[in-house]
Amino acid sequence: MPDFQPVRAACEFAGGVTALARRLGLPPQVIHSWAVGQRPIPIIRCVEIEEITGGEVTRKQLRPDDWWQIWPELRGED
């Protein structure tokens, strides 16, 4: 089962679901669907979330099952 804690952490960092949604230009329902695992986080949004959180929530955390296929340049970074 995937871990949705990184999405929740991003929400907390941004000031809540609505605040993160506003920063991403999305409806809060979309963020909520990511946080509860109803929908996967789109790849482009992972990069944006990493930037919004200043690296506190990373692409690796948001896509633990396939990050190395999407961003192979991140291999070896921790």
Predicted confidence (pLDDT) per residue in 2-12, tens digit: 566 999 999 99
**Rg of the chain taking only CA atoms, in angstroms:** 12
Where helices occur in the chain by DSSP H, the ranges are 5-14, 17-24, 28-35, 43-52, 59-62, 67-70
Domains of the chain plus CATH, in order, are 5-72 (1.10.260.40)
* Backbone phi, psi, residue 44, to 5°: -60, -30
- Please check the confidence at residue 50 and state whether its pLDDT lies above 90: yes
Q: pLDDT digits over 13-49, tens only?
A: 999 999 999 999 999 999 999 999 899 999 999 999 9
- Please check the confidence at residue 76 and state whether its pLDDT lies above 90: no
Task: Report the pLDDT averaged over residues 42-58.
Answer: 96
